[in-house]
Chains A and B, each alone.
Chain A
Amino acid sequence: DQQVKQNSPSLSVQEGRISILNCDYTNSMFDYFLWYKKYPAEGPTFLISISSIKDKNEDGRFTVFLNKSAKHLSLHIVPSQPGDSAVYFCAARGFGNEKLTFGTGTRLTIIP
């Protein structure tokens, strides 16, 4: 069973506009969430994270929003740049557990 899901396998956004990537989870024991960017044949690169006690975290062009009641988080990238084109994974960690559970990924394409 997929505990972390990214229902959009792909997303295309015009350069300069906002990119919104979504992630849903089912396990209420997850207490920390992370977003990673990944290029083919490379390891994931950490972008931003959020604790379950917060509902928003911002770092430069990246903002992550967490809605615990809906078990939903989203990553906003604004303004989107061509270099943002990659596959984005959300990941979740359970309380007292070091393991990360990854979502299925969303391929973001920024159109110049």
Chain B
Amino acid sequence: GAVVSQHPSWVICKSGTSVKIECRSLDFQATTMFWYRQFPKQSLMLMATSNEGSKATYEQGVEKDKFLINHASLTLSTLTVTSAHPEDSSFYICSARDSTGQGLSPTYGYTFGSGTRLTVV
């Protein structure tokens, strides 16, 4: 149980275009989803927290107009990188928290997707 599917696993796009990344919880309902980015050999940095049906909460320094997050259902959240530039090239990872938040899943409620490698050329 507790599987999160993230798609696509990698994407190459031209500078100035937008890219959408999907994160789905397959076998549980995720009231909260988290979006991280990781630069090479660095830590996972939280970008934003999204709750189903409400606006995402962005971490300091993250441009909300550039990284659009939609959490329209209990099983799907999307991150859209708008007008992407080469400096946005990174590894993006989502994490979904089960609605109980009680640690009933073996992952203590935090299940990560497999990540998306974005390369902007």
Chain A interface residues toward B at CB < 8 A: 2, 9, 32, 34, 36, 41-46, 49, 89, 98-105
Contacts and interface: CB of A to CB of B under 8 A. Distances in A.
Contacts of A98: 32, 34, 49, 97, 101
A79 B1 CA distance: 28
Contact of B43 (A41, A42, A49, A105): A105
A32 B110 CA distance: 12
A36 B117 CA distance: 19
Contacts of A49: 108
B6 interface: yes
Given A49-B108, A100-B110, A43 B43 contact: no
Contact of B113 (A9, A43, A102, A105): A43
Nearest to B110: A100
Q: Is the interface on chain B under 10, 10 to 19, 20 to 34, or 35 or more residues?
A: 20 to 34
Nearest to A42: B114
B106 interface: yes
A17 to B, nearest CB: 25
A34 B108 contact: yes
A89 B43 contact: yes
Given A41-B115, A98-B101, A46 B110 contact: yes
Nearest to A34: B108
B93 interface: yes
Contact of A43 (B6, B42, B45, B108): B6
26 contacts: A2-B43, A32-B108, A34-B110, A41-B10, A41-B91, A42-B114, A42-B115, A43-B6, A43-B95, A43-B112, A43-B113, A44-B44, A44-B93, A45-B112, A46-B106, A46-B110, A46-B111, A46-B112, A98-B34, A99-B46, A99-B49, A100-B46, A100-B95, A103-B43, A105-B41, A105-B43
